Amino acid sequence: MSLVRRAEPEDAAEVLRLRQVMIDSMAGADPSTAWHTESLPVLRARLAEPDGDFAAFVVDHPERSGALAALVCGTVDYRIGKAGNPHGVVGFVFSVATDPDARRRGYARAGMTALLDWFRERGVRRVQLTASTEARTLYDSLGFLPKPDPLLELAL
């Protein structure tokens, strides 16, 4: 039996908690959790779409009933095809988080493996992510390579 399972709508509050764990670990992050209330119904609805373009994989916490130990999320995006990706589907990994008291047990790796399988099932041929320094070893071991392209962002 696998440690990893697909997150369900009932997991939404715990998924948000682990997303906050990830956010809190980033330098300069806003520690506010006020957004959780507004985000929760949207997340529940997205988790209820088994064939949608979003997936979250989780590991139940072995010592705390009803809590999650780890979270890995991803989306499938469409971009016009090109050589090497004629169908134009791209996977994006985000919100990889492990509860501080459950780290170093292979949960993030197991979640990433499940997410990468999910991407493959959807015809994804390229997966992207941004990584913290601490997580680079995991992503390097899974075959991710750095890209020289700088990311630009505009807040609307």
Tens of pLDDT, residue by residue over 115-145, are 999 999 999 989 999 888 888 999 999 999 9
- Answer yes or no: is 74 within a domain: yes
- Answer yes or no: is 153 within a domain: no
The residue range of the domain holding 73 is: 4-141
Residues of the chain with pLDDT under 70: 1-2, 27, 151-155
- Identify the DSSP state of 134: T
Domain count, the chain: 1
- Answer yes or no: is 156 within a domain: no
- Answer yes or no: is 155 within a domain: no
Q: Could you give the 3-state DSSP secondary structure of residue 48?
A: coil
Which residues, 6+ apart, have CB-to-CB distance to 80 below 8 Å? 88
Residue 26 belongs to domain with CATH number = 3.40.630.30
Confidence (pTM): 0.91
Which residues, 6+ apart, have CB-to-CB distance to 37 below 8 Å? none
